[in-house]
Chains A and B, each alone.
Chain A
Amino acid sequence: MDFSRIELDDEQRAFEAEVREVFENHWTPDPHALNLDHDRPTKELIEQLAQRGWVHPRSPRSQGGAELDAVRARILDLLQIEYRVPRFGNDLILPTVRKYGSDQLRASALPALESGRASFCLGYSEPDSGSDMAAARTRAVPDGDEWVINGAKMFTTYAEIADYVFLLARTGPVEEKHKSLTMFLVPMDTPGIEVKPIHAMGHVGTNMTFYRDVRVADSYRLGAVGEGWRVVSEPLAAEHGAGEGSELAELNGSMGAAFVRTLEEVLGLAVEWARTTEVEPGVLAIDDPLVRNTLAGVLLDIEVEWNTPSEFGKVTASETLLRDADLLVDLMAPAGVLADGADGAVAQGSAAWARAMAPATQIYGGTTDIWRNNVGRGSLGLPRSR
């Protein structure tokens, strides 16, 4: 066990200064942006990061990375948080593209994906298949050395800016379920793809995507025909927090950490409210025992989240965010219900926004119920549940 400080040497401090300069010169932090890990940086900043290999900083230079050691990678990480730079990257699909992509696909797609100049969206869920992902019906039919894709995908977040969709398609009889699926990496500019925005609560944006006679060469296939479930199992496992973290990273996984940081932001704004608002004449909220008790409870919840293992981090972080965001709306009632920018809004309307957005966090990357099923089987050896 070791939680000691790491004293940075001159070279590491110089690296910190270098990163700061890039952010100072190419980025304007928006203090009102709270849903950071759902946003994307500007093209300008993406280019600056891509040039330096900082989108996938620990990857080899030959793979578009910067070969940063763990300390420098963590410095970059912390500065992205400080400068409120949305985090993004293609690590979720890169191993799969390298392992299963054709020579042609690797040559055409990898450079831009590895540098971070290109991005992807996930074509997993459909209107009729969410948690039961293997029941996908979007169909890819072979035609010569091409495939013709027809169907629809739901919640294809980032489709409006992505260069590729990482697509799960049905290529055999539906009855064979897990054995008749194939993965593809389909360029989003292929004719026949339509992106239709979906507006969700809390300014969360996603899309439905439609595929009408979308033709792709066989070289865009990832892995063998019918092997799609096996191919997608690795990115799925990575999304479910089964990957390794470094000893410098948060314990609760990237999604859990993101949700907790959002709650920290809202709490910070609520504390500022408490310091500047009277609950009764002459009594500041921050001095009221019930207010202190409530705020302290949220602070405690946050600390517990930082100590939750990554296999479960996103579950408890999402539920804590939802519960505590509403608690803070209640604490700051009635003004706490008002939206950012409204006359009389408090805490930047952040608590009201957070409780509207938070149900989504219980769905991203698989529902919390699926996560519980997985942890039950994986960590407790419980039988497959129904």
Chain B
Amino acid sequence: MTIELRRNDYSFDEQQTEVRAMLAGFFGRHSPAEVVRAAEPLGFDAALWQNAEHAGIVGLAFPEARGGQGAGLVELAFAAEAAGRTLAPVPLADHAVATRALLRLDGIDIDVDAAVSGETIYSLAPLSPTGSGRQLVPSGALARGVLARRGAELVLLRRDSPPPQAANDAAAPVAWWDPADPEVSQTVLATGGAAEAAWREALSEWRIATAAALVGLGDGAVSLARGYALERHQFGVPIAAFQAVGHRLVDAHEAVQAARNLTLKAAWFQAEEPLARPELPVMALANAARVAPRITDDCVHVHGGFGLMLESDVSLYHRRSALWGRLGGGSRAHLAEIATALDRAGRRPAPDRSLVAAGGA
């Protein structure tokens, strides 16, 4: 038995650093809290979506041959994180993942230009393998096409217009898509092994993009809380000087860093070696989904009574943190899937040649 060496390099190259800066600049400028609030309760700003398309962000990770920017899953994760940081009311992650999946299939009958531009919004139903009934679809109140797994098939559910939003406190454009609904038509895109592979890839990408959005959400919340704690003075000092406050901020900040690292590592493996660490996408989402609410709990708390008010920007984050990570199921579903990787958690193997067998040294 020989050892395996891997690089463990989380650093960004120059191009990645530029892309991240571009994305942060775009959403920082065009998606301030006023824009987020104005888009409630549906959670969609058509002008921002068009703006993102013109800026090459909608098509960032679509193939150049189809009119996209040709970037990969890692860059898609960057974009989802940047959008998440400002809670941008656009279906960036869901649409990008669903469209990428559609573009990977041969001979499907969709208006590719409308998909690549975002004029027609697509999404996917992450829990569709678990049941044949209606599905709560992320960005489902904006989409006119939803990728789903039905039995052994990969299907595209379509509607002329999106179904109504299912009310929620997060101003998230979620909606029920029911295959039995007469307004929903269904096209089979693939069957058997091809369907399974295509679905697995789409679901993994969706988990990573959603985790990235949650990382951004967490980062945005920490930024608000840190700023508040440095400004707010009580007992003659900034409240950040009190360890009860400071330590919460540190823990939240570090949880964001770890979640980002895990999510980007998952993106790298999914893009480069999807068979090497197949559990990483669900791990990234499971972790992001469980830490984001705790982070916003603490960030709201740091704001004291002001954090509870609907006018507070941090409340926007807290209202969203419980929903974004749960649309693919909760921790029960995530952990059940992670458990299948337990076979690899056996004891580190003993050295190749046993000293006992060889009669000792």
Contacts and interface: CB of A to CB of B under 8 A. Distances in A.
Interface in A360-386: 369, 372-373, 375-376, 379-386
* From A31, A264, A382, residue with most partner B Cβ within 10 Å: A382
A165 B352 CA distance: 39
Nearest to A269: B347
Contacts of B133: none
A303 B345 contact: no
A1 B5 contact: no
Contacts of B237: 383
A322 B6 CA distance: 29
B215 to A, nearest CB: 11
B355 A386 contact: no
B271 to A, nearest CB: 10
Given A292-B339, A300-B335, A316 B258 contact: yes
A300 B361 contact: no
Contacts of B229: 382
Given A268-B348, A300-B338, A380 B11 contact: no
B6 A5 contact: yes
Interface stretch (B186-194, B246-254, B305-313): B246-254
B250 A71 contact: no
Contacts of B351: 20, 23-24, 29, 82-83
A293 interface: yes
Interface of A: 1-6, 8, 13, 16, 20, 23-26, 28-29, 31, 71, 74-75, 78-79, 81-83, 247-251, 264-265, 267-269, 271-272, 286, 289, 292-293, 295-297, 299-300, 303-305, 307-309, 312, 315-316, 369, 372-373, 375-376, 379-386
B286 A24 contact: no
B342 A271 contact: yes
Given A372-B243, A385-B242, A82 B348 contact: yes
Contact of A299 (B3, B238, B338, B358): B338
B7 A2 contact: yes
B241 A385 contact: yes
Contacts of A289: 336
Contact of B8 (A251, A312, A375): A251
Contacts of A75: 3, 5
Contact of A386 (B230, B242, B265): B242
Given A267-B345, A297-B335, 13 more contacts: A20-B351, A24-B355, A24-B361, A75-B5, A247-B11, A272-B346, A292-B335, A304-B262, A308-B254, A308-B261, A372-B250, A380-B226, A385-B243
A269 B287 CA distance: 24
Contact of B7 (A4, A304, A386): A4
Interface in B148-174: none
B318 to A, nearest CB: 20
A289 B335 CA distance: 10
Contacts of A295: 339, 342, 345
B9 interface: yes
A307 B269 contact: no
Interface class of chain A by DSSP = helix
B352 A20 contact: yes
A366 to B, nearest CB: 14
Contact of B350 (A1, A8, A26, A29): A29
A369 B247 contact: yes
6 contacts: A1-B268, A6-B7, A71-B5, A293-B336, A299-B342, A309-B258
Contact of A300 (B242, B243, B253, B287): B287
A73 B254 CA distance: 29
Contacts of A83: 351
B341 interface: yes
Nearest to B247: A372
A375 B254 contact: yes
B338 A373 contact: no
B51 interface: no
A322 to B, nearest CB: 15
Nearest to B244: A385
B355 A3 contact: no
Nearest to B16: A1
Contacts of A1: 9-13, 16, 74, 264-265, 268
B36 to A, nearest CB: 25
A268 B344 CA distance: 9
A384 B237 CA distance: 11
B243 A373 contact: yes
B272 interface: yes
A376 B247 contact: yes
Chain B CB within 10 A, most for which of A1, A26, A79: A1
A31 B350 contact: yes
B29 interface: no
B27 to A, nearest CB: 22
Given A296-B336, A309-B258, A4 B272 contact: yes
Nearest to B249: A380
A367 to B, nearest CB: 12
Contacts of A375: 250, 253-254
A297 B282 CA distance: 12
A2 B9 contact: yes
A235 B240 CA distance: 28
B132 interface: no
B262 A307 contact: yes
A385 B152 CA distance: 59
Interface in B3-62: 3-13, 16
A327 to B, nearest CB: 13
Contacts of B268: 1-3
B253 A6 contact: no
Contacts of A4: 6-7, 272-273
B342 A3 contact: no
Contact of A296 (B250, B338, B349, B353): B338
Nearest to A84: B348
A309 B338 CA distance: 23
A76 to B, nearest CB: 10
A26 B355 CA distance: 10
Contacts of A312: 250, 254, 257
A293 B335 contact: yes
B246 A373 contact: yes
B283 interface: yes
Interface string B95-106: 000000000000
